[in-house]
Amino acid sequence: MKVEQSNSPISEQYRLEAENWVALDSAANLLEETKSAVLSQMMARLGDIPVSHAERAVKSSEEWATYVTKMVKAREKSNLAKVRCEYMRMKFSEWQSENANRRAEMRL
């Protein structure tokens, strides 16, 4: 994961990362939630054949493999964006602790 240094406040950096995470999570959720509908549509295109045969044909197709791969990659991107948000939260926490320690040391 590449971490860029920024001059903007940590809160702004977090907001941008969080917005990115929301967008990527939404895209991943959409693919996951429409999986059954996509399967049904692909099966329906095969015409009037038994459901078990249509399901087997679709699930063994390159088109289905591509769809599932796309879905998994979308979730991966979403998870990585979430990790970046948590990184920003941890970075802020560390900054707070360092400042508190400096203030405490000055009082000594």
Cα 60 to Cα 15, 18, 42, 75, 95: the distances in Å are 42, 37, 12, 22, 52
Residue 21 · residue 82 · CB < 8 Å? yes
- Global model pTM greater than 0.95: no
Residue 81 · residue 24 · CB < 8 Å? yes
For 21-79, write each residue's pLDDT tens digit: 999 999 999 999 999 999 999 999 999 999 999 999 999 999 999 999 999 999 999 99
What pLDDT does 58 receive? 98
